Structure 1
């Protein structure tokens, strides 16, 4: 029984709770007794913990955030998680304010459980908070790893993996099932390219005769995609650091296991190469000639002004992992989605084939030198980047000082999330945004279609001081992957399937089910490796 004296107290508590859980309201902050511009609109936070209860209950979190913004009819919002103001953005003009006008303020990264592990304790270029270390590693990438000269030198290795892709799909087309798991093919192509240019080999053990992945390569790629999944995954300990170690949401175990798997394959190769170059680098042995054979050689051989190794073994290992997971995801996801959409719209697939037959012909395989002339193929890739991004947000930008953006107050330490999903599907920017229409990228004033999008109407490779440093490599991998698959084969749904299911996965933006398709060779047989 509740005593009559307790009723007023319970009533007061109830009123306070109702006030706290009021759905939405605008908030303003005061500093030194003076009003400052309002924070962007957002849900009313609970004291101390902010909107963490909602974050824990609403899965996936990115859909909850986008639904909130749609309900509020806003292109910028503020969701407080613990003491952190999380600022999602879905408007290209506002995104440009963050990454162009105020790029210097928002060029840092927040610390988190996952990024600390992935970056080897913050020694890499992409995940390390802004400072001397991130600048040092970014200079290494720009000047040595992804320079135009280095890109050109490695073209034969990328072409070899494009040939291997055709070989693998051809062999699958001749199997008893005649079906191809397109997700496996695209992910292994990107994994093969990166392993080949990084380590000079596509496999970790014995090579398969049909060009397909072994268990080791599949495990390696799976671990890399796990790393990507948990990169900035709203882990509760990222907002309450004292919870690190308790693993309340299971992220830590998955992250540690993925890192262990990647290191299992990378470390022996890197350790062996370090021993080779640093013990015999000055010898006359042909096996240790001065010319780097791959990107790992480049990283190992770099010297500082005193002739000493520029990078520590820890920096090399962490940067190799970062280069890997930053390269394999976008091209493979975009091409799987593009091919699925094109199979459901045969006229688009036919147009793409006609362009390849016109530009390349049917007596040779498409090469990287053809890319500038393949505008329709690139338009299909652009449309896949726009409509089906690899992740809902770009890697988080963190405010290094207070700022005013789009008329709103963005406090120091805020986490800014530019929404790939919201930008690419914004109905204020795109006509029929949920339709796959490559022709929207073929404008009369565009002589050559680019996969980059400087106006941030969608995000393929991002921009700014922390943007992608290798759009040239990303463009080559994406275009060659799609072009080789479309040029080399006629693609059809399996006999029991009337159309390709284009549903998204419930927890991410991948196809809910890997694309399984019939592939029939359409070129002279002597062209298939």
Structure 2
């Protein structure tokens, strides 16, 4: 009780003093919060939606007090550019929170660690051996074989009259693709128990990353774990730790088999004995694998699921996509990666999905290292930054009829050159600047390739009497609250549906 009273008094004093100090500076406009908790109550269950509504009242740069911390929200392309390009270095760190502490080994990963030598080493190794241009080209055959396994599973489901659960199928496929790069082998049966268990682990981890924990904003009461989130985080971390320890043991025992062609985990383990200044630890490698096996799978999976959902809901779009593929590819073979540059409508569908259903609606948070000025407003040191990518994608001042799913908008002259590469701030699903997602290029290739293969290879049928649910489930990735489960009908000859 004494500790609680002390916390209440000190936090109230903090608010009073910070308010007086702020009077000498022009903070961005924002809602007037309550004592101690600030504007936490305004975030609701869907913070990206709540913040988008608030920005309509307070403007494109908005400041909120959330417990003990200040947060600034950018909600337009121009303000996003100011923070993520002009002020990029000042906002190059991530704020600590329970998820990064308990799920990625106290921020030993690449996504949530501070900008510095260890982060640069992780990014360098990842770009060079897994997600960079040459590495992506070298792994084209791996992607082709894995998509063949996916087609086999889907074809078998169609013959047996079973529904295809899109998220489970995609997540297993992408996880196997990633595991072949990291471990030189497939890990999951895309239709089996192992895949479902892994998907459940990924789903829970991504949910916990995006969950609201009051202790992240009121650190003095974090130890109470009021909602039991920290306990759940520790439990799911143990599950991943067991999985990784098993991977490590098996990999050390078989290293001699890969002397001429080491995989990504071999490269990371060799870096543990690097005589140079920076070395990796077990925690660094495990945390990086969490990044790869969760964010790398869940974000792409959610994008594919949203795209298919929108296309099934809009049969004209699905028919146009299939007509384009039939003309370019024909119906005697499957889609190849080399076909994608010749499929502008498919590319437009992917861009439109990123616009309306960004996998990371609030981007990953950043924090200012020094005070700065943005759009004439003072931003104090230690202010947390969220860029509301979801709000930018639905802004009528940026996009015509923003609530309509219309890929044709990206075929028009004014939008055709807009790409999700981090330079066009109207469309930044992977973020921008030095903390932009390192897997953006690989993610884009997998999205276009898997989605195109699915659409070209099958027709998609919603069981009679069922409606398509469009509700969102907020987490680190913005997934569907009700998974898409549909009947698929083959469009191509049976010989096409194989791994070869």
Residues 389-425 of structure 1 show CA distances to partners (whole Å, capped at 9, x for unaligned) of 2233111011111011122111111110111211111
The farther-off stretch of 61-70 and 73-82 is 61-70
CA contact (8 A) 2:130 2:181 kept: no
Structure 2 residue runs of 5 or longer lacking an equivalent are: 1-11, 13-17
Q: 1:131 corresponds to which residue?
A: 116
SS at match of 2:249: helix
Q: What SS does the corresponding residue of 1:129 show, helix, strand or coil?
A: coil
Match of 1:183 among 159, 167, 177: 167
Structure showing greater radius of gyration is: 1
Residue number in structure 1 paired with 2:195: 217
Aligned-residue CA RMSD (Å): 2.6
Of 147, 171, 196, 2:180 maps to 196
- Give the alignment of 1:369-408 within 5 angstroms: 369-408=338-377
1:35 matches 2:24: yes
Q: 1:343 aligns with which of 290, 296, 312?
A: 312
Note the 1:313-462 alignment, pairs <5 A.
Answer: 313-444=282-413, 450-452=419-421, 454-462=423-431
Query: Hey, what's the Cα distance between the residues in 1 that align with 2:323 and 2:339?
Result: 14
How big is each residue's C-alpha offset from its partner over 1:115-142, in whole Å with a ceiling of 9 and x where there is no partner?
Answer: 0123322222221122332223222222
**Aligned-partner Cα distance in 2 for 1:509–1:468:** 16
**Aligned residue for 1:67?**
53
Change beyond 3 A, Cα 1:444–1:113: same
- Name whichever of 83-92 and 146-155 sits farther off: 146-155
CA distance in 1, matches of 2:394, 2:321: 24
Hey, what's the Cα distance between the residues in 1 that align with 2:223 and 2:143?
41
Q: Quick one: distance in 1 between partners of 2:129 and 2:20? A: 46
Matched ranges for 1:17-28 at <5 A = none
Distance between the aligned counterparts of 1:245 and 1:509, measured in 2?
28
CA distance in 1, matches of 2:398, 2:308: 24
**Relative to total residues, which structure has the larger helix share, 1 or 2?**
2
CA offsets 1:418-473 (integer angstroms, 9 cap, x no match): 11211111111011000000011113377777443522213221111111112221
Measure, in 1, the Cα distance between the counterparts of 2:428 and 2:450. 19
How far, CA to CA, are the matches of 2:73 and 2:138 in structure 1? Answer: 40
Tell me if structure 2 keeps the 8 A contact 1:338–1:380.
yes
Deviation of the 1:308 alpha carbon: 10
Q: How far apart, in 2, do the equivalents of 1:82 and 1:494 lie?
A: 47
In the TM superposition, residue 478 of structure 1 has moved relative to its aligned partner by 0.2
- Residues 1:449 and 1:86: Cα distance change in structure 2 (over 3 Å): closer
Paired residues of 1:224 and 1:258 also in contact (CA < 8 A): no
Summarize the Cα distance change of 1:29–1:374 in structure 2 as closer, same or farther, 3 Å threshold: farther
TM-score when scaled to structure 1?
A: 0.84
**Is the Cα contact below 8 Å between 2:110 and 2:288 reproduced in 1?**
yes
What is aligned with 1:150?
Answer: 135
Deviations 1:250-276 (A, max 9, x none): 321222222222222222112332455
Distance in structure 1 (CA, Å) of the matches to 2:240 and 2:387: 28
Q: Which has the higher contact order (CA 8 A, sep 6+)?
A: 2
Q: Which runs of 5+ in 1 are unaligned?
A: 1-19, 21-26, 278-284
Q: How many residues align?
A: 481
Structure 1 residues 275, 409: closer, same or farther in 2, change over 3 A?
A: farther
Change (3 A) 1:474 1:404: same
Equivalent position of 2:89 in the other structure = 104
- TM-superposed CA distance for 1:355, in Å, is 1.5
- How far residue 199 of structure 1 moved from its aligned partner, in angstroms, is 2.1
Q: Which of 500, 516, 519 is 2:468 aligned to?
A: 500
Kindly indicate whether the alpha-carbon contact (under 8 Å) linking 2:207 and 2:474 is maintained by their aligned counterparts in 1: no
* Number of the residue aligned with 2:241: 263
Equivalent position of 1:13 in the other structure: none
Q: CA offset at residue 493 of structure 1?
A: 1.6
Task: Say whether 1:254 aligns with 2:232.
Answer: yes
Pick from 58, 67, 74 the counterpart of residue 82 of structure 1: 67
Q: 2:372, 2:493 → 1: CA distance? A: 61
2:404 pairs with 1:472: no
**Counterpart Cα distance in 2 of 1:504 and 1:221:** 18
Q: SS of 2:436's equivalent?
A: coil
State how far apart, in whole Å, the 2-side matches of 1:450 and 1:348 are: 20
Looking at structure 2, the residues matched to 447 and 422 of structure 1 have their Cα atoms a distance apart, in angstroms, of 21
Partner Cα distance (1:501, 1:136) in 2:
43
CA gap 1:126/1:511 in 2 versus in 1, 3 angstroms: closer
Report if the CA contact (8 A) 1:372-1:448 is conserved.
no
Q: What is the CA–CA distance in structure 2 between the aligned matches of 1:501 and 1:54, rounded to whole Å? A: 26
- Matching residue of 2:38: 50
Q: Is the 8 A contact 2:121 2:278 kept in 1?
A: no
Conservation of the 8 A alpha-carbon contact between 1:375 and 1:448: no
Indicate conservation of the 8 Å contact 1:203/1:214, yes or no: no
Q: CA contact under 8 A between 1:125 and 1:136: conserved in structure 2?
A: no
Q: Distance in 2 between matches of 1:482 and 1:427?
A: 28
State the alpha-carbon separation in 2 of the partners of residues 51 and 465 from structure 1.
Answer: 30
